[in-house]
Structure 1
Amino acid sequence: MSKTRKRHSLLCRVEKLLIFLGILALAWLLIFAYLGFFKRDIKFVDTESNSSINLFGNNNKQEDAPKEATVPIGVMIENSVAARPFQKGLSSAKIVYEAPTEAGISRFLAVFPSDSEMPKIGPIRSVRPYYIDWIAEYGGALAHVGGSDEALRKLAQMNRDEMVIDLDQFKFGNSFWRENIGRTALEHTMFSDGNALRSLVTVQAEPKKVTTTTPKSSRFRLRNKTAPGESAHEVNIQFGFPAYAVRYSYDAATNRYLRFQAGAPHIDQNNGEQIAPKVIIVQRVRAWPLADGKSRIGMQTVGSGNATVFMDGHAIAARWEKSAQTERTNFFDDAGNKIEISTYPAWIEVVPDYNSVEYFARLSS
């Protein structure tokens, strides 16, 4: 064999070796990139230095926390007329936000503490931007099935900034499932439960270091400084169409407010019981139509406005304040005292200022 052929053969071998080593290096880089992206540290910063009891997590400031996801989970629950016969899990949530999405149709954000019972819940639907601001108050995770373009952009950014953990069914389909509900349209059939969602949270965020209370305290209680307010046994809220009219009727025997929709009792299909929160907060906000051709609205979440707190059969005139996107919404009475609520469940009805709210006391027989 000539020297030229020997040299060519040697070069071919070297070239093949370099290609092999390059492929091997690329494979290792992809593995490290994968682990670095999906197993990120998550830190929660609580600006409240005087938190005493934390409903949604550990109260103790610590340098090294257990590698368990101890964050609340919010779930977007549908409230269309077609979905109501299949609604499950709302009565188990500690806090529920109700707000309109488009065309006067309301939707729920049900918030579950990290250590509370979380049964099957659904039907799960898409998210809008303002719901993200509310779950961000708790430093929580948000389970949903897609969302508006604006909401998805916002959620992606807040997920990167470790303000909210994004649990989108389109990304994590194995943690959700569709149920066979006769001839019901497909969009009304998505469900999940606490086991699936909490396992997903643990995978998506392995907290290795918690700088302060995790997450922000959500303790409320009615301070003695706050007057009990006038009697209020019936509360009526109009979101637009009669099918989405809400009524609460105070039951003194249980100290709860029985919830009705479109004149019918609102039933949780998990237990067959009527939903009956102990506290209702009506939060009045500015809202405006969006030019998206889909009848969606924008809604105020930061700033201040009027509110009414219903508890123990009484109404307390109040104001709400929220200083920033991830800060807590606080409520104050007319004297400036902070209204705190220690009893649950609490339902927060976020009502645009152009919709009507009325309440009254029953006449004694």
Structure 2
Amino acid sequence: MRQFKKMLVKLSELERRKRYLKKKMRLRRQRHLKLEVNTAMKRLFKKQQNLFFLSLVCFICLGLIIFFVYGLSPNKEPLANETLENNVSLTQTEIIFRHPLTGKKSHQVINKPSVYSVMVENSADAWPLSGLEKAFLVIEAPVEGNIPRFLAFYSSDVEVEKIGPVRSARPYYLDWANEFFSLYAHVGGSDQALDLIASGETFDLNQFFFGSFFWRSSDRFAPHNVYTSSELLSQAFEQKKNKGYAREPLYEVWSFKDHLIPTNFHDVPEVSIQFSPVFGYEATWVYEPSMNRYERKQNGQKFLLQNGEMIFADNIAIMITDITVINAIGHRSIRTLGQGEAIILQDGQIILGSWKKNSVKNRLRFYDENNQEIIWNPGITWVEVVSLKEAVQF
């Protein structure tokens, strides 16, 4: 009996110890859980502190950048387009951009558009012509018989319904077309020009092989009836681009200024370029002071296009260079590279200066008598290519 009581006492003791251990383990788990919660809260608080300080540092840095960019230099002068290729001008109230090809102002950045260049005939059988009024640049140079031919340059962001008549290529025009990495549209060409095109340097669109991008008009006889349009040129460009032949618009840009109406200008009412005046190929530019632009006449008459539009230019550059006849057909060789004398007509003024073109891919540039590069009026520029100063009459 005594032993039985002892066993009951031991069992009771064991039961108490068991309850004690359970309670102890429960308290230990609670303390451990509380410790983990505290640790997690500390880590979260530390991360919040780090994010707060990082945000504060970023906010301070942004404020300093805004202060140094705008606070210290609110009156910046306009920047030339050699600094920013889109001709960005900064004023106190707004940022003005310029079109890379025309120099016209815009409130938005204008990326360099692709350029299309088209050989346009200027013989009497081709008159009246089409599409020249939409070109941002036209280069006029003589071919056989000293009859001038136009190389008209179009920005790909301009719509032109009809361009032409389109005629054949000559080698010197290739040098001007290639400085824009332009799509060069023509109908055949001289042997020398076609050999140069075959070398692969020119982004070529020959009507002989790409006839679907041209059409023949029924209102005149061949070969004076081939035309194209900006839509067809764009289609040709996209087709060649998809085949990997398109050229990136890596051309250099000219500098432009604001188009101002001069109050005092040199009295030069008109300038004539004597290509072949006996046969009606005397080009005359007449200055209009009220519009600060030049109107073109051909052999003393208004030079009207097929749509009734007249030809106007905001700048005229006369390039004087070496021109020689190289065969019995009358093909000419014109020096396009290097430098030479030039006459620039702008704002009613005559500027005696020079031209320079260092390589085929470099832009043709013009300079004044102090060797400062010409800054052009925005709009349309015509370049007249002649061999002697005597071919220019004031």
TM-score scaled by length of structure 1: 0.73
Q: SS at the partner of 1:205?
A: helix
Structure 1: distance between partners of 2:285 and 2:274? 12
8 Å CA contact 1:233, 1:250 repeated in 2: yes
- The alpha-carbon deviation at position 204 of structure 1 amounts to 1.2
For residue 282 of structure 2, what is the amino acid of its counterpart?
A
Q: SS at the partner of 2:254?
A: coil
- The alpha-carbon deviation at position 51 of structure 1 amounts to 4.9
Counterpart in the other structure of 1:289: 325
- Deviations 1:115-143, CA, capped at 9 Å, x for gaps: 12222111000010111100111111110
- The alpha-carbon deviation at position 208 of structure 1 amounts to 7.6
Q: SS at the partner of 1:199?
A: helix
Counterpart in the other structure of 2:29: none
8 Å CA contact 2:257, 2:378 repeated in 1: no
Counterpart in the other structure of 1:72: 115
- The alpha-carbon deviation at position 219 of structure 1 amounts to 3.0
Cα pair distance change 1:336/1:70, threshold 3 Å? closer
Tell which structure's C-alpha radius of gyration is larger: 2
User: 296-305 or 341-350, which moves further after superposition?
Assistant: 341-350
Aligned pairs for 1:216-231 within 5 A: 216-221=251-256, 230-231=266-267
Q: SS at the partner of 2:172?
A: helix
- Structure 1 runs (4+) deviating above 3 angstroms are 48-51, 206-211, 228-231
Counterpart in the other structure of 1:55: 100
1:309 aligned onto 2:347: no
Aligned pairs for 1:43-122 within 5 A: 50-53=83-86, 55-56=100-101, 70-85=113-128, 87-122=129-164
Q: Which has the higher contact order (CA 8 A, sep 6+)?
A: 1
Aligned pairs for 1:150-299 within 5 A: 150-157=192-199, 160-161=200-201, 164-181=202-219, 184-206=220-242, 214-221=249-256, 230-242=266-278, 243-270=280-307, 272-291=308-327, 293-299=328-334
Cα pair distance change 1:302/1:207, threshold 3 Å? farther
Identity, % of aligned pairs? 33
For residue 353 of structure 2, what is the amino acid of its counterpart?
A
For residue 298 of structure 2, what is the amino acid of its counterpart?
Q
Cα pair distance change 1:96/1:127, threshold 3 Å? same
Cα pair distance change 1:289/1:355, threshold 3 Å? farther
- The alpha-carbon deviation at position 170 of structure 1 amounts to 0.3
- The alpha-carbon deviation at position 50 of structure 1 amounts to 4.3
Q: Which structure shows the bigger proportion of residues in helix conformation?
A: 2
* Ranges in structure 1 where 5+ consecutive residues have no aligned partner: 1-47, 58-68, 360-365
Q: SS at the partner of 2:196?
A: helix
Cα pair distance change 1:209/1:151, threshold 3 Å? closer
- The alpha-carbon deviation at position 356 of structure 1 amounts to 1.1
Structure 2: distance between partners of 1:200 and 1:132? 19
8 Å CA contact 2:320, 2:389 repeated in 1: no
Q: SS at the partner of 2:276?
A: coil
Q: SS at the partner of 2:177?
A: helix
Counterpart in the other structure of 2:187: 145
Cα pair distance change 1:354/1:341, threshold 3 Å? closer
Structure 1: distance between partners of 2:377 and 2:288? 19
Counterpart in the other structure of 2:353: 318
- The alpha-carbon deviation at position 221 of structure 1 amounts to 2.3
- Deviations 1:275-295, CA, capped at 9 Å, x for gaps: 11111111101011112x211
Structure 2: distance between partners of 1:56 and 1:257? 19
Instruction: Compute the RMSD of aligned alpha carbons.
Output: 2.8
8 Å CA contact 1:118, 1:194 repeated in 2: yes
- The alpha-carbon deviation at position 317 of structure 1 amounts to 1.0
Structure 2: distance between partners of 1:210 and 1:99? 27
- Deviations 1:190-222, CA, capped at 9 Å, x for gaps: 0110111111011113498999x8231333325
- The alpha-carbon deviation at position 240 of structure 1 amounts to 2.5
Q: How many residues align?
A: 290
